[in-house]
């Protein structure tokens, strides 16, 4: 099945061809016609399954058929949890917008950079991609109004409706017209399904793409049982011994992330950090370097666990386990994307073992666990 039968405008079909998207992914097959038909959608499909284009393409189609020039306020709002994701989603819009004859203007706004340029630019915007905090700031400064929003997207929906964001998102929702299209996309769905139902007022189309059978699971999971003080040497052993060229390492705190990076640098392994305490410029630069293969090891907090699309990332290492099985799933979802298999390695201290068992049980997988302490880590 090709994109042709989904009802997309010819201009978009042409752009898809140029981009090398020959076939819609399963979530796109179902989401695209539903979004074009202005239905509400709850789309659940695993990481890397193309959820972004699943809403970007039909939204742009709808602009093509109803020219954007008639609006003076944004009509589409996409809420995302991180600055990185805001930039990435805008990029996907930007990939397809030039092919249209009716070209909407898309802007991403998020914190960590000066608000002034965003205040200047936001006046002419049709599609606004935003993190909740910065959007509320802009609203408070009267730089933007949300009273013309006709389509709302919550990307990483469960995260956006989770405790950390709930209050901000609720404040934003209160400013939107009640008659609107709601599109919620996520790889995982929190326990709070009731709330999601409540939010999707209008007879939602629920699209749930089943996980592929394990035989074709592109992620090889592996665990090392290792004492806390040997995690550093083991990490360096895995990188050097395995000759890993592009590794994403997750740790739980900003402090820990910085510590790991320092140790790697001391051992002459090219590494850098991404966490919330770093400025936007630094974060962008580091992510860019990592994506382009110029940075060997990127160490990050869970900030980077969500939604970030990195092609052919061969290896993810959990230096510490995440708190929830859901976060584990998002973290390891950074590897093994787009048909290229990847490794997800967890360094598990004896204290973390029970927690790892809980994660495995929730995921319904059994991960092979090796003894890290038995390895000869001298010199690493």
Give contact residues for ligand ADP (rule: CB under 6 A).
21, 23-25, 28, 45, 47-53, 307, 309, 338
**Helix, strand, coil percent values for the chain (each to nearest 5):** 45, 15, 40
Work out how close the CB of 28 gets to Mg ion at its nearest, in angstroms, rounded to a whole number: 12
The interface region with Mg ion, picked from 141-149, 250-258, 299-307, 327-335 by CB under 5 A, is 299-307
Instruction: Give the residue with the Cβ less far from Mg ion, 48 or 232.
Output: 48
Tell me, by CB under 5 A, how many residues bind Mg ion. Answer: 2
Binders in 51-90 for Mg ion, by CB under 5 A: 51
Among ligand ADP, Mg ion, none, the one that 186 touches (CB under a kind-dependent 5 to 8 A) is none
Q: How far is the CB of 52 from Mg ion (least distance, A)?
A: 5
50: partner contacted, choices ligand ADP, Mg ion, none (Cβ within 5-8 A by kind): ligand ADP
In the complex, the smallest distance separating the C-beta of residue 95 from ligand ADP, rounded to whole angstroms, is 8
CB of 24 vs ligand ADP, minimal distance in Å: 5
Q: Toward ligand ADP, which CB reaches closer, 58 or 232?
A: 58
Q: How far apart are CA 320 and CA 300, in angstroms?
A: 11
Q: How far is the CB of 373 from ligand ADP (least distance, A)?
A: 36
Establish if 50 lies at the interface with Mg ion (CB under 5 A): no
**What are phi and psi for residue 208, nearest 5 degrees?**
-125, 115
Q: CB 50 → Mg ion: shortest distance, Å? A: 9
Q: What DSSP string describes 268-279? A: T--EEEE-TTS-
Q: Which of residues 269-288 bind Mg ion (CB under 5 A)?
A: none
Choice from 307, 325, 336, 342 touching Mg ion (CB under 5 A): 307
Q: Which residues are CB-neighbours of 296 under 8 A, at least 6 positions away?
A: 239, 244, 245, 246, 247, 269, 270, 271
Helix (H) or strand (E) holding 357: helix 353-363
Which CB, 50 or 204, lies closer to ligand ADP?
A: 50
Provide the 10 A C-beta neighbour count for residue 237.
Answer: 19
d(CA 209, CA 180) in angstroms, rounded, equals 25
- Nearest one of 62, 98, 333 to 181, comparing CA atoms: 62
**Least distance to ligand ADP from the beta carbon of 49, Å?**
4
Between 51 and 90, CB nearer to ligand ADP: 51
Q: Closest-CB residue for ligand ADP?
A: 50
Which residues make Cβ contacts (< 8 Å) with residue 349, sequence separation at least 6? Answer: 225, 226, 227, 228, 231
Decide which of Mg ion, ligand ADP, none touches 309; Cβ closer than 5 to 8 Å per partner kind. ligand ADP
Which residues have C-beta within 8 Å of that of residue 169, sequence separation ≥ 6?
79, 132, 154, 160, 161
> Between the CA of residue 244 and those of 96, 235, 311, 317, 376, what are the distances in Å?
34, 11, 15, 11, 18
For Mg ion, the closer of residues 233 and 336 by Cβ is: 336
Residue 44 or residue 234: which is nearer to ligand ADP going by CB? 44
Torsion angle, CA of 277/280/286/289, rounded to 10 degrees?
Answer: 170
Distance CA 365, CA 221 (A): 9
Compute the distance between CA of residue 148 and CA of residue 167 in angstroms, rounded to an integer: 22
Nearer residue to Mg ion within complex by CB, 49 or 286: 49
CB of residue 91 to Mg ion, shortest distance in Å? 12
Cβ-Cβ contacts under 8 Å for 268 (sequence gap 6 or more): none
Q: Which stretch binds Mg ion (CB under 5 A): 75-83, 207-215, 306-314, 356-364?
A: 306-314
Interaction partner, residue 25 (Mg ion, ligand ADP, none; CB < 5-8 Å by kind):
ligand ADP
Residues that bind Mg ion (CB under 5 A): 51, 307
């Amino acid at each position: 099945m090709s994109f042709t039968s989904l009802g997309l405008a010819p201009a978009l079909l042409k752009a898809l061809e140029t981009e090398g998207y020959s076939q819609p992914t399963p979530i796109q097959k179902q989401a695209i016609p539903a979004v074009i038909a202005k239905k509400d959608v709850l789309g659940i499909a695993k990481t890397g399954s193309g959820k972004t284009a699943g809403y970007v393409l039909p939204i742009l189609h709808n602009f093509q058929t109803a020219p954007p020039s008639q609006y003076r306020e944004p009509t589409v709002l996409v809420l995302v949890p991180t600055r990185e994701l805001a930039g990435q989603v805008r990029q996907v819009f930007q990939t397809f917008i030039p092919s249209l004859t009716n070209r909407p203007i898309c802007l991403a706004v998020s914190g960590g950079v000066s608000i002034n340029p965003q205040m200047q630019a936001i006046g002419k915007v049709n599609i606004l991609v935003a993190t909740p905090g910065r959007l509320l700031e802009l609203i408070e400064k009267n730089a933007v109004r949300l009273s013309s929003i006709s389509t709302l997207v919550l990307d990483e929906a469960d995260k956006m409706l989770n405790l950390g964001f709930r209050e901000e998102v609720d404040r934003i929702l209160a400013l939107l017209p009640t008659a609107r299209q709601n599109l919620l996309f996520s790889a995982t769905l929190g326990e709070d399904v009731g709330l999601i139902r409540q939010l999707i007022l209008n007879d939602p189309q629920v699209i749930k793409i089943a996980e592929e059978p394990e035989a074709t699971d592109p992620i090889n999971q592996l665990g090392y049982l290792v004492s806390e003080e040997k995690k550093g040497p083991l990490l360096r052993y895995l990188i050097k011994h395995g000759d890993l060229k592009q590794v994403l390492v997750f740790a739980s705190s900003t402090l820990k992330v910085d510590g790991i990076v320092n140790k790697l640098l001391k051992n002459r392994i090219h590494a850098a950090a991404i966490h919330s305490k770093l400025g936007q410029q630094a974060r962008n630069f580091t992510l860019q370097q990592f994506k382009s293969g110029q940075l060997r090891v990127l160490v990050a907090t869970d900030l980077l666990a969500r939604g970030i699309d990195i092609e052919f990332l061969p290896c993810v290492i959990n230096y510490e386990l995440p708190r929830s099985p859901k976060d584990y799933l998002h973290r390891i979802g950074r590897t093994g994307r787009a048909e290229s298999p990847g490794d997800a390695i967890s360094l598990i201290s004896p204290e973390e073992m029970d927690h790892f068992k809980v994660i495995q049980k929730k995921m319904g997988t059994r991960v092979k666990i090796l003894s890290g302490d038995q390895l000869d880590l001298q010199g690493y």
